[in-house]
Amino acid sequence: MRPGHLLCAAVMAALSQPATADVHIVPRPASVELSKGQFRVNEDTAIAFESGWPEAKALAAYLQSVLQPATGFAFRVSPLDKADVSANTIVLARLTQDAGAEAYELQVDSGGIRIAAPQAAGLFYGIQTLRQLLPPAILSDALVESVPWDVACVNIEDRPRFAWRGMLLDVSRHFMSMETLKKCIDTLALHKMNSLQLHLTDDQGWRIEIKKYPKLTEVGAWREETVIGHASKKPVKYDGKRHGGFYTQDDIRELVAYAQERFVNIVPEIEMPGHAQAAIAAYPELGNTGETLPVHTTWGVNENIFNAEESTILFLQDVLEEVLDLFPSTYIHIGGDEAVKKQWKLSPAAQARIKELGLKDENELQSYFIRRMDTFLTERGRRLVGWDEILEGGLAKGATVMSWRGVKGGVAAARAGHDVVMAPNTHTYFDYYQGDPALEPLAIGGNLPLDRVYRFRPIRSTFSEEEAAHILGVQGQLWTEYIATPDYLEYMAWPRMCALAEIAWTPQDLREYADFRQRLDTHTQRLDAMKVNYRKLDD
Ligand code: TNX
């Protein structure tokens, strides 16, 4: 037998444990032991939480709130020391051994259910697994009658592979409602995803209220019209309809709190120095030409970038100051991609600035710009993250790199000692087609079917242990040039985000496409119950 066959046999043995024979959890847990029998949730089932653990109390209420709508049962909630836990109880308990911040154990026997974790996040993920052990209809927000709410007897020990399990949502190209964002957070949480990067600013719209600079939203949040069809198709046609919207600071606070309750960290992205036309439309002095520009109405890389004057750097730091007040995230994304240097090359002011600072060229000016933001954020206890272009011209040590132009930038960054989030357009751009373009709704281009996403390996076999430790995780991107509605957003996101969740969570040696694909047949019933408009599976 060739070595390949041996490896294959070992993987097959792992995959054929009874584990996934009857439980179809996505992402697949690290360890599942299935035994005979089941526990039936009924109108007398109670919930008990570890006494003196306020987060467990809050999660008991959360568990009650997710089990009630479909079952119609009350689920009495009480602390463990007061509860009669002899039978018919779902217990949320503290696990004393240090299994990791997000780890949990879940045991089901015919008498009851016990979820235990060292920290609250683990309890939350145990609850998500429990929701998937119940019949898919449990995820319905309306009463579902005559379903036996049975849970198979099982012993699960689980923890994530990566700490950064993310999705990017571009709310600049198309504004998305609070309701859409909340549903998105709920769906991510079910998949144990823990990071949502909001791409809040770009050429086509500025989407966050900044008190000090009201024109950013008064002017920058609205564009006169939007290109129809693919932007590369000439002649370009426009719809003549004003598009826009923004999140007030109260909206942002509400959203951050909603996400926190679901263990999702929102990473704000404020783009600089490129992708800046909406901001320049609001405050022309931020640009290089003095020209008054409109908020951009078509797609593509744009040469209108911020100038690098001290006043502009301070303006953007004022913006970040308000952003930091709203978002508790350690990581703050400053963009950094696709900053075309043409205007800096032509601008006498930019050239004078390069001289004054003793820099070599425009790349070093970008690097200076980013370093200023890095120092600003670091002084405030935060960490800068940016697209892989921030490596060009040198990068401050503490900065984190998001690798989008394939994995090359990420590999180089990890080698240079930076933390990395893998977000390559080769495997994680969910704005790309997922089937034959002739049969799919209009997308930006590309070809990224589900199985290709699934096969992505964030850690290369050539990485040293130290380099591998710099890979924080993975992120799936939803750029929304061609995604104008919540339905289409869900169509592009799911089930590809299910595949990404499994890359992010499941040990590599338990990942196998055929096994995943089989579980998806059950899992899509859950998405149906949640009314998520996922793309139907190919056979
Ligand atoms: C490149 S990815 C961009 C975005 C576009 C996306 C479309 C990145 C850092 N920049 O501005 O929306 O391609 O796929």
CA–centroid distance, 416 to ligand 1, in Å, is 24
State the closest ligand 1 atom to the C-alpha of 444, by its place in the atom list counted from 1.
14
Dig out the tokens for 473 from the structure: 């995780």
Query: Dmax over Cα atoms in the chain, in whole Å?
Result: 79
Strand partners, 371: none
Dig out the tokens for 510 from the structure: 């338990």
Dig out the tokens for 352 from the structure: 């004078």
Whether residue 214 has a cis bond before it, omega within 30° of 0: no
Dig out the tokens for 184 from the structure: 């998105």
Stated as kind and residue range, the H or E segment containing 179 is: helix 178-190
State the closest ligand 1 atom to the C-alpha of 431, by its place in the atom list counted from 1.
14
Q: Is the CB of 404 under 6 A from ligand 1?
A: yes
- From 172, 204, 479, 483, give the residue whose CB has the most ligand 1 atoms within 8 Å, as the site to mutate: 479
Return the exposure string of 474-505: e unless at least 16 CB atoms fall within 10 Å of the residue's CB, then b.
bbbbbbbbbbbebebbbbbbbbbbbbbbbbbb
* 46 CA to centre of own chain: 33
CA–centroid distance, 512 to ligand 1, in Å, is 30
CA–centroid distance, 4 to ligand 1, in Å, is 38
- Segments of the chain scoring below 50 in pLDDT: 1-20
Task: Indicate the DSSP class of residue 536.
Answer: P
Stated as kind and residue range, the H or E segment containing 109 is: strand 104-109
pLDDT digits (tens, 9 = 90+) for 148-207: 999 999 999 999 999 999 999 999 999 999 999 999 999 999 999 999 999 999 999 999
Side-chain half-sphere exposure of 139, counting CA atoms within 13 A: 26
Question: How many of the other CB atoms lie within 10 Å of CB of 448?
Answer: 22
Q: Is the CB of 444 under 6 A from ligand 1?
A: yes
Residue nearest to atom 8 of ligand 1 (CA): 337
Q: Is the CB of 432 under 6 A from ligand 1?
A: no
Whole-number Å distance between alpha carbons of 2 and 268: 49
Dig out the tokens for 324 from the structure: 């930091």
Whole-number Å distance between alpha carbons of 232 and 86: 66
The amino acid that residue 506 corresponds to is T
- From 204, 304, 338, give the residue whose CB has the most ligand 1 atoms within 8 Å, as the site to mutate: 338
Burial class (CB in 10 A: 0-12, 13-18, 19+), 226: buried
Contact 399, 385 (CB under 8 A): yes
Strand partners, 38: 152
The amino acid that residue 231 corresponds to is A
State the closest ligand 1 atom to the C-alpha of 479, by its place in the atom list counted from 1.
12
Q: Is the CB of 431 under 6 A from ligand 1?
A: yes
CA–centroid distance, 173 to ligand 1, in Å, is 11
CA–centroid distance, 390 to ligand 1, in Å, is 15
Residue nearest to atom 7 of ligand 1 (CA): 479
Domain 167-505 coded CATH 3.40.50.1970: no
Question: How many of the other CB atoms lie within 10 Å of CB of 428?
Answer: 28
CA–centroid distance, 124 to ligand 1, in Å, is 33
Residue 21: predicted pLDDT: 52
The amino acid that residue 186 corresponds to is D
State the closest ligand 1 atom to the C-alpha of 202, by its place in the atom list counted from 1.
11
Residue nearest to atom 9 of ligand 1 (CA): 337
- Let me know how many helices (H) and strands (E) the chain has, helices first: 18, 21
Dig out the tokens for 233 from the structure: 């198709």
**φ and ψ of 186, to 5 deg:** -60, -45
- CATH fold group of domain 9-158: Chitobiase; domain 2 (3.30.379)
Q: Is the CB of 429 under 6 A from ligand 1?
A: yes
Residue extents of the structural domains in the chain:
9-158, 167-505
Residue nearest to atom 10 of ligand 1 (CA): 337
Contact 219, 292 (CB under 8 A): no
Please list, in sequence order, all residues whose beta carbon lies within 8 angstroms of the beta carbon of residue 341, skipping any fewer than 6 positions away.
305, 362, 363, 366
207 Rama class: left (phi>0) / alpha (psi -120 to 50) / beta: alpha
Q: Is the CB of 338 under 6 A from ligand 1?
A: yes
Q: Which of 406, 422, 430, 432 is nearest to 478 (CA)?
A: 430
Contact 124, 262 (CB under 8 A): yes
pLDDT digits (tens, 9 = 90+) for 300-313: 999 999 999 999 99
Burial class (CB in 10 A: 0-12, 13-18, 19+), 13: exposed
The helix-helix angle for 310-326 and 249-261 (nearest 10°) equals: 50
Dig out the tokens for 2 from the structure: 């060739």
Question: How many of the other CB atoms lie within 10 Å of CB of 137?
Answer: 18
Question: What residue has token string 């799911």?
Answer: 494
State the closest ligand 1 atom to the C-alpha of 337, by its place in the atom list counted from 1.
9
Q: Is the CB of 337 under 6 A from ligand 1?
A: yes
Residue 531: predicted pLDDT: 98
Q: Is the CB of 263 under 6 A from ligand 1?
A: no
The residues annotated as belonging to the active site are 202, 275, 338
State the closest ligand 1 atom to the C-alpha of 432, by its place in the atom list counted from 1.
14
Residue nearest to atom 2 of ligand 1 (CA): 404
Q: Is the CB of 387 under 6 A from ligand 1?
A: yes
Predicted model pTM: 0.95
The amino acid that residue 88 corresponds to is N
Stated as kind and residue range, the H or E segment containing 259 is: helix 249-261
406 Rama class: left (phi>0) / alpha (psi -120 to 50) / beta: left
Please list, in sequence order, all residues whose beta carbon lies within 8 angstroms of the beta carbon of residue 322, skipping any fewer than 6 positions away.
210, 211, 212, 249
Residue nearest to atom 13 of ligand 1 (CA): 479
CA–centroid distance, 425 to ligand 1, in Å, is 9
Question: What's the per-residue H, E or C state across 37-91?
Answer: EEEEECCCCEEEECCCCHHHHHHHHHHHHHHHHHHCCCCCEEECCCCCCCCCEEE
Whole-number Å distance between alpha carbons of 48 and 114: 9
CA–centroid distance, 479 to ligand 1, in Å, is 7
**φ and ψ of 125, to 5 deg:** -70, -30
Angle at 265 between CA 259 and CA 270, to 5 degrees: 110
